[in-house]
């Protein structure tokens, strides 16, 4: 196919599709090009093993920005969120457990089993996090101001940020500054004393991150994961009915309704330029597609270091892109099981049993456990006893598998990009280690497995085009967020080439299924529409 479009978008992940939907809605002739056979990027449902529908990468939805859902009328296009309540279950080696959900009284009773003081503090903690999140949330769907160089046009944004920061009560201002600098463990220590509660919350501080929860800056990762409120309650994540790919199908439906073309099996080999200006793209098969603008939702290293010929970008910009940290940490196991796991003391044999299995099951009982898991990783090996987050979407979503069978997702840490001896040596062994951890808490779980898919960071790179196997298109650290994302001086979705924009998780506000990067990039393009002659 050859053709000519106002805008070509590289990648049909949720951000690329969101950018496409906004631009098509505004009347632009848009084409989305996806290298895989299926749309969705990391937010995908794949039919593995016959009719089983598996969210092969991302598995829970909590951060998706409500503005995007509303603007694109996603509920009318097939998007449905299934709220998980209780949302979190932490079984402990002595048979006790912590179950948390959206009900304050229930949470207080659960936490009081370990500490009465923490039961009270938890309510205050959630309120404080909510206030800080309310300050940050509008910033997610706005374009960061220019930094360190700035112009008068940035002044209103700086003033808006400053005035809403000053409106935060003093304790929340203090909390905010801690969240941007401290370790998750340090922040949690200030609020709580009981380890089961702290370690349950701390796992959010290390997801996708090659650090232990005691490392400075992991509080930011923790906060990044409690911001969303797509389920109606902050911090309570949901399943997308039909799997994560149904979110992208809904966005694609919205984009198509406004005339967008979406092509799969269409890998962009090169972004074409003339005189520092984008002219279109060339696909792997040599097809050229003309376009005044190109938005890339591929990660920044792939976009700038692989899809552009050498010499078209300023050297200093290239050096900054090369320095972006994109560290691997995670591993994913997707399973079909013929029965539900049986956790000791978890309402077995009662009607309550299912309640324990609705949310994320944290198989990670102590800080010591996490630190040891991390220590192996530092030595270049996958953890001997990995941290496992188990989810069982079929408990709430009966559309994914035949009656009685279950889809089970294990999101695991810590997994190096290239372990000593390579993944050929380690993959089967690591899966054994992961299942051994699950079996410890839910005896005989492994014997219920019918199908299993294991994805290492290398597989993330091959399958989902995630450079370095990093699930966020770039580490979530303060030096790589907001005005520093993707690199300092270039946080406004524009690039040194006229007509080229970044619209994926490598841009503000970063990784996770948020949709804000796609939204913001589209807004920048639409603002510059006249200048771009669109
Ligand atoms: C295993 C795993 C589990 C995760 N779990 C969660 C979770 O539960 N919840 C959550 O919120 N986040 C989760 N994340 C993170 C989140 O999914 C990602 O940060 C987010 O989806 C990125 O979205 P995106 O649209 O910016 O990019 P992507 O989803 O990465 O999409 C980019 C698209 O571009 C395509 N592409 C790349 N290069 C080219 C090219 N040259 N030509 C054409 N197409 C190209 C890719 O194939 C891909 O489809 C997870 C990620 C992984 C990998």
pLDDT digits (tens, 9 = 90+) for 26-37: 999 999 999 999
Instruction: Look at residue 350 and tell me whether its pLDDT is greater than 90.
Output: no
What is the number of the ligand 1 atom nearest to the C-alpha of 11? 34
Q: Delimit the domains of the chain by residue range.
A: 3-43+61-80+243-325+467-527, 103-227, 330-414+416-455
Ligand 1 centroid–CA 237 distance in Å is 18
What is the number of the ligand 1 atom nearest to the C-alpha of 64? 11
Give the pLDDT confidence score for residue 349 in this predicted structure. 67
Instruction: Look at residue 252 and tell me whether its pLDDT is greater than 90.
Output: yes
456-480 per-position pLDDT tens digit: 999 999 999 999 999 999 999 999 9
Q: Are 100 and 108 in contact (CB under 8 A)?
A: no
Give the pLDDT confidence score for residue 408 in this predicted structure. 98
Residue in 13, 17, 87, 88 to alter for ligand 1 test, most ligand atoms within 8 A of Cβ? 13
Confidence at 325, pLDDT banded by 50, 70, 90 = very high
**The model's pTM:** 0.97
The per-residue b/e assignment along 380-399, b for 16 or more CB within 10 angstroms, e otherwise, is: ebbbebbbbbbbbbbbbbee
Instruction: Look at residue 1 and tell me whether its pLDDT is greater than 60.
Output: no
Residue in 42, 263, 434 to alter for ligand 1 test, most ligand atoms within 8 A of Cβ? 42
Q: Are 161 and 139 in contact (CB under 8 A)?
A: yes
Dist. CA 437–CA 388, nearest whole Å: 8
Give the pLDDT confidence score for residue 226 in this predicted structure. 86
Instruction: Look at residue 347 and tell me whether its pLDDT is greater than 90.
Output: no
Region 403-419: mean pLDDT is: 97
β-pairing verdict for 30-33 and 3-10: parallel
Give the pLDDT confidence score for residue 236 in this predicted structure. 78
Hey, whose CA ends up nearest to atom 33 of ligand 1?
11
Q: Are 335 and 445 in contact (CB under 8 A)?
A: no
CATH of domain 3-43+61-80+243-325+467-527: 3.50.50.60
413-440 per-position pLDDT tens digit: 999 999 999 999 999 999 999 999 999 9
Dist. CA 98–CA 112, nearest whole Å: 10
What is the number of the ligand 1 atom nearest to the C-alpha of 14? 25
Here the tokens at position 430 are 């690591």
Ligand 1 centroid–CA 466 distance in Å is 7
Region 301-323: mean pLDDT is: 98
Residues in contact with ligand 1 by the CB-under-6-Å rule are: 10-16, 33-36, 41-43, 57-60, 63, 267-268, 297-298, 302, 307, 330, 332, 411, 460, 464-466, 471-473, 504-505, 511-513, 517
Residue pointed to by tokens 């203090």: 174
Instruction: Look at residue 308 and tell me whether its pLDDT is greater than 90.
Output: yes
Please report the DSSP string for 453-515 in residue order.
EEE-HHHHHHHH--GGG-TTSS---GGGSGGGSSSTT--SSB-SSBTEEE-STTSTT-SSS--
Ligand 1 centroid–CA 43 distance in Å is 6
124-157 per-position pLDDT tens digit: 999 999 999 999 999 999 999 999 999 999 999 9
196-251 per-position pLDDT tens digit: 999 999 999 999 999 999 999 999 999 999 888 777 777 779 999 999 999 999 99
Among residues 364, 349, 344, the alpha carbon closest in space to that of 445 is found at 344
Hey, whose CA ends up nearest to atom 6 of ligand 1?
58
Ligand 1 centroid–CA 102 distance in Å is 28
Here the tokens at position 458 are 């290398």
Mean per-residue pLDDT of the chain: 96
Instruction: Look at residue 283 and tell me whether its pLDDT is greater than 70.
Output: yes
Hey, whose CA ends up nearest to atom 48 of ligand 1?
41
SS3 452: strand
Hey, whose CA ends up nearest to atom 53 of ligand 1?
471
What are residue 243's phi and psi, to 5 degrees?
A: 95, 165
What is the number of the ligand 1 atom nearest to the C-alpha of 44? 29
Ligand 1 centroid–CA 509 distance in Å is 14
Give the pLDDT confidence score for residue 533 in this predicted structure. 84
């Amino acid at each position: 196919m050859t053709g000519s479009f106002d805008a070509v978008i590289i990648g049909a992940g949720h951000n690329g599709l969101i950018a496409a939907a906004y631009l098509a809605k505004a009347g632009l002739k848009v084409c989305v090009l996806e290298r895989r056979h299926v749309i969705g990027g990391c937010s995908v449902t794949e039919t593995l093993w016959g009719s089983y529908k598996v969210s092969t990468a991302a598995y829970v939805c909590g951060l998706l920005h409500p503005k995007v859902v509303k603007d694109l009328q996603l509920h009318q296009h097939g998007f449905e969120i299934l709220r998980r309540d209780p949302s979190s279950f932490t079984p402990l080696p002595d048979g006790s457990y912590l179950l948390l959900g959206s009900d304050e009284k229930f949470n207080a009773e659960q936490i009081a089993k370990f500490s009465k003081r923490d039961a009270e503090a938890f309510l205050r903690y959630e309120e404080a996090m909510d206030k800080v999140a309310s300050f940050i949330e509008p910033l997610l769907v706005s374009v960061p101001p220019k930094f360190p160089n700035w112009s008068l046009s940035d002044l209103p944004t700086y003033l808006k940020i400053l005035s809403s920061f000053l409106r935060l009560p003093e304790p929340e201002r203090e909390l905010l500054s801690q969240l941007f600098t401290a370790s998750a463990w340090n922040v949690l220590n200030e609020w709580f004393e009981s380890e089961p509660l702290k370690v349950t919350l701390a796992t959010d501080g290390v997801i996708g991150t090659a650090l232990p929860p005691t490392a400075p800056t992991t509080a930011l990762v923790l906060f990044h994961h409690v911001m969303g409120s797509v389920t109606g309650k902050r911090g309570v994540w949901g399943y997308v009915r039909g799997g994560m790919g149904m979110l992208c199908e809904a966005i694609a439906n919205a984009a198509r309704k406004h005339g967008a073309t979406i092509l799969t099996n269409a890998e962009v080999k090169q972004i074409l330029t003339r005189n520092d200006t984008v002219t279109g793209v060339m696909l792997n098969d040599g097809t050229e597609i003309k376009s005044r603008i190109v938005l890339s939702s591929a990660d920044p290293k792939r976009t700038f270091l692989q899809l552009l010929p050498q010499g078209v970008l300023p050297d200093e910009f290239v050096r900054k892109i090369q320095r972006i940290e994109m560290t691997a940490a995670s591993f994913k196991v997707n399973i079909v099981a013929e029965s539900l796991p049986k956790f000791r003391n978890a309402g077995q044999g009662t009607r309550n049993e299912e309640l324990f299995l609705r949310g994320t099951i944290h198989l990670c009982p102590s800080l010591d456990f996490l630190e040891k898991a991390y220590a192996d990783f530092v030595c270049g090996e996958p953890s001997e006893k990995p941290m496992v987050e188990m989810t069982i979407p079929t408990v709430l979503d009966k559309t994914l598998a035949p009656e009685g069978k279950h889809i089970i997702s294990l999101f695991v840490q810590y997994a190096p990009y290239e372990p000593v001896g390579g993944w050929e040596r380690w993959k089967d062994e690591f899966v054994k280690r992961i299942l051994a951890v699950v079996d410890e808490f839910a005896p005989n779980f492994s014997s219920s497995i019918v199908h299993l898919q294991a994805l290492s960071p290398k597989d993330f790179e091959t399958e989902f085009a995630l450079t370095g196997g990093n699930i966020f298109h770039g580490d979530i650290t303060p030096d790589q967020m907001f005005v520093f994302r993707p690199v300092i001086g270039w946080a406004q979705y524009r690039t040194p080439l006229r007509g080229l924009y970044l619209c994926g998780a490598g841009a503000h506000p970063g990784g996770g299924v948020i949709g804000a990067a796609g939204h913001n990039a589209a807004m920048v393009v639409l603002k510059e529409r006249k200048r771009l002659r669109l």
